[in-house]
């Protein structure tokens, strides 16, 4: 007998979390409803001419969740499993991350349903520029600032910045973060998420009275975040990396 397919809805999980915290904070029903609903959602369908000459239609999303304390802020991901509910949930969680840390930004998230592993750099550029044009009506330095996420990077942000700048007639470097240093990016951005993860692991180890110095570490997901995390754990925390893996395979060296 086959196991039933798991159907966890990330946005339903996010709303359940809000309900749970709302009870602890004694929030009234009206406030809970506000917190459980995005401010704005944009779904776009756009054509891109592929390298083989065929036209493929992609679907993209941008969800702006809450801007009560500042402009919307959140990454753009490229993945074959991107869904509107996933983007809603990530935008929701981005809102709470900024609010809890006192960072003056709201939460947003974006995504395009695609498989970057099967696309050329030329196809990715064309898709990115078209997606940027479609969401240009709701993003901007004082409105909504995208950033890299899963399968997107500084080059992706550079394409978005260039596309928006061309439509405005002047350079708009503040339309995205996470872009290359030469066009106004931030020093340390490439490893920022990894460094945050390293600090979280360090503090968690302290909590359970484990020493990270000399500890063996396995990293599942050796992409941009995993790669920098492994280096930081080794160089700054004295840990020993014994295994890494990504979607194509893994390696162990004890």
DSSP 24-52: HTT--HHHHHHHTS-SEEEEEEEEEE-TT
Write phi, then psi, for 211 (nearest 5 degrees).
-95, 130
- Nearest Cα to Cα of residue 112 among 133, 92, 84, 140: 84
Is 109 among the catalytic positions?
Answer: yes
Q: How far apart are CA 31 and CA 23, in angstroms?
A: 11
- Cβ atoms < 10 Å from Cβ of 29: 8
Which of 23, 109, 143, 209 is labelled catalytic? 109
Dihedral (CA of 110, 115, 117, 120) sign: negative
Q: Do residues 228 and 191 make contact, with C-beta atoms less than 8 angstroms apart?
A: yes
Q: How far apart are CA 118 and CA 120, in angstroms?
A: 7
Q: Dig out the tokens for 195 from the structure.
A: 């460094």
Burial bucket for residue 56 (CB in 10 Å: 0-12, 13-18, 19+) = middle
Burial bucket for residue 160 (CB in 10 Å: 0-12, 13-18, 19+) = buried
Q: Which residues are catalytic?
A: 109
């Amino acid at each position: 007998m086959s196991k039933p397919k798991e159907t966890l809805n990330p946005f339903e999980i996010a709303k359940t979390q809000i309900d749970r915290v709302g009870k602890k904070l004694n929030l009234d029903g009206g406030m809970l409803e506000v917190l459980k609903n995005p401010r704005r959602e944009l779904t776009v369908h756009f054509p891109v001419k592929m390298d083989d000459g065929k036209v493929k239609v992609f679907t993209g999303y941008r969800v702006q969740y809450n801007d009560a304390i500042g402009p919307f802020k959140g990454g753009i991901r490229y993945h074959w499993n991107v869904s509107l509910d996933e983007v809603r949930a990530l935008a929701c969680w981005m809102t709470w991350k900024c609010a809890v840390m006192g960072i003056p930004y709201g939460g947003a998230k974006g995504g395009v349903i695609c498989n970057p592993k099967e696309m050329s750099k030329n196809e990715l550029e064309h898709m990115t520029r078209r997606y940027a044009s479609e969401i240009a009506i709701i993003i901007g330095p004082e409105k909504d600032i995208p950033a890299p996420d899963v399968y997107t990077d500084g080059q992706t942000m550079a394409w978005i910045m260039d596309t928006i700048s061309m439509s405005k007639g002047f350079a708009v470097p503040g339309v995205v973060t996470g872009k290359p240093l030469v066009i106004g990016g931030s020093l340390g951005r490439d490893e920022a998420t990894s460094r945050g993860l390293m600090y979280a692991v360090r503090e968690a180890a302290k909590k359970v009275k484990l020493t990270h110095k000399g500890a063996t570490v396995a990293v599942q997901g050796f992409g941009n975040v995993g790669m920098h995390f492994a280096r930081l754990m080794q160089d700054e925390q004295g840990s020993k990396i014994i295994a890494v893996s990504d979607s194509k395979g893994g390696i162990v060296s004890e």
